[in-house]
Amino acid sequence: MSFDEPGYKPHPHSEVKSPQEHWWERTGKAILNRRLCAEAAWAEGVKEQERRQMPAPAAQADPCVWTEDDDGLWSGPCGVAWQFNDAGPVENKCNFCPRCGGKIEPDPYTDEDEG
């Protein structure tokens, strides 16, 4: 009696496997393992390529002076524009400019700036 025949029941204590189980044990796991290893190597290669494309950090970046306008928008000379929900860069622990990497020097808005 073969696996494909209706009514086939293996002995409950036997180690007999169906053809699908046998294929999975001998071939399927190896294929899956090779595929996972290939994908992991590809992902690591992408990470390495991204690392190589990142600019080297500046030894000492120039400070980035952020000025606040009357609407609460902070902007810097590098073209960054930022708005905080509450307070300014110092209170929000924003120490470095996300655009140029310079240390932020805040210049808050005052009523005297209008005149």
Q: What angle do CA 40, 42, 44 make, to 5 degrees?
A: 70
Pairwise CA distance, residues 30 & 38, whole Å:
12
Which pLDDT belongs to residue 66?
93
Q: What is the pLDDT along the chain (115 residues), one digit of tens a residue?
A: 555 667 766 666 666 677 777 777 778 888 888 888 888 887 887 777 777 776 665 555 689 999 999 888 999 999 999 898 888 899 998 899 988 888 999 998 887 766 5
Residue 105 has a pLDDT of 93
pTM score of the predicted model: 0.46
Nearest residue to 4 via CA among 19, 15, 16: 19
21, two tokens:
């189980």
At residue 56, φ and ψ (nearest 5 deg) are -70, 140
Domain extents in the chain: 1-54, 64-113
